[in-house]
Amino acid sequence: MKSDFFKNKAKVREMTLMAMFMAIIITMGFVPFLGYITIVGTSVTLIHIPVLIGAVFLGRKGGIVLGLTFGFTSFFRALTSVGTDYLFIFPWVSILPRFIFGFIIYDVYRLLLKLINIRLIALIISFVLLTLLHTLMVLPLMISAFPLALGLESVSEVIAAGAGEGWDPIAFMQGTNTFSTAMKVILSILVSNGIIEAALAGSVGAIVADRLIAIVKKEETPTTTNSDGENIATID
């Protein structure tokens, strides 16, 4: 009877946390300048931080749900977006990388925790690495969507299309090819947005997650587990 009580309590706790994190993600996704800070047609993403924190608590299954919530909010937001944010209207740009992102968060964190054995340090490193990985997954998919978004056949045609707006594509392309040009775009956004997002995740996100874990460990009994069979109270 006592075991059933703790199982039911764990289930209620897990469902409550899931609903709470989903609500945070959806709110951040649609409230202007809350989940995305738009800078010259592209956005610095903050919405990945509650996905990271929630996946640490809820395990692999919870991470998948939160990752998909992130992806679908990005997709629906793209319907009314301009600039490069419009590219998230394609599901393989908005949803697929966020599914993979949510799927691996818990396992990456647990692996680093075993290797380092210091919770806060493991959280910081895992959040930074996962955020950079998320950026590296999304940006190539964004570039693959350029031609479809503009009705052109290749990345080089997308670049050439800017000539009518005063952009000199010949000078831009000089000494490069389509692949290297695409990589320049990836690198420029990675250096700006990606590093900012990783820094925020590793500082703000990791500290919040560490404090929440400490609170849960203090309040919960050692027998409380999540749906992945992991002990929520000893999730350190």
Residue 180 pLDDT: 59
- Establish if 51 belongs to a structural domain: yes
The residues, any chain, with a CB within 8 Å of residue 114's CB and separated by 6 or more, are: none
- Establish if 42 belongs to a structural domain: yes
77 is in which domain, residue-wise?
2-137+196-219
- Establish if 175 belongs to a structural domain: no
CATH code of the domain in which 39 resides:
1.10.1760.20
**pTM, entire model:** 0.76
Separation of alpha carbons 3 and 6, rounded Å: 5
- Establish if 226 belongs to a structural domain: no
- Establish if 113 belongs to a structural domain: yes
- Establish if 68 belongs to a structural domain: yes
Span between the terminal Cα atoms of the chain, in Å:
27
- Beta partners for 225? 231
The residues, any chain, with a CB within 8 Å of residue 168's CB and separated by 6 or more, are: none
How many folded domains does the chain comprise?
A: 1
Give Cα 11 to chain centroid, integer Å: 25
- Establish if 186 belongs to a structural domain: no
Among 13, 119, 141, 29, CA closest to 81: 29
Residue pLDDT tens, the chain, 236 long: 555 555 677 788 888 989 999 999 999 988 877 777 766 555 678 899 999 999 998 999 999 999 999 999 999 988 877 666 777 888 898 999 999 999 999 999 999 999 999 999 999 999 999 999 998 888 888 777 766 655 555 555 555 555 444 444 444 444 445 555 655 665 676 677 888 889 999 999 999 999 988 888 776 655 555 555 555 544 56
The residues, any chain, with a CB within 8 Å of residue 184's CB and separated by 6 or more, are: 176
Residue 36 pLDDT: 74
Please tell me the number of Cα atoms within 13 Å of 27 on its side-chain side: 7
Place of tokens 């027998």: 223
| 231: three-class secondary structure by DSSP | strand
- Establish if 150 belongs to a structural domain: no
Residue 236 pLDDT: 61
Kindly state the DSSP code that residue 175 receives in the 8-state scheme: T
Q: What is each CA distance from 102 to 63, 118, 213, in whole angstroms?
A: 4, 23, 19
Residue 224 pLDDT: 53
Separation of alpha carbons 103 and 85, rounded Å: 23
Task: Supply the DSSP string of 28-57, one letter for each residue.
Answer: HHHSTTTSEEEETTEEEE-THHHHHHHHHH
Residue 140 pLDDT: 80
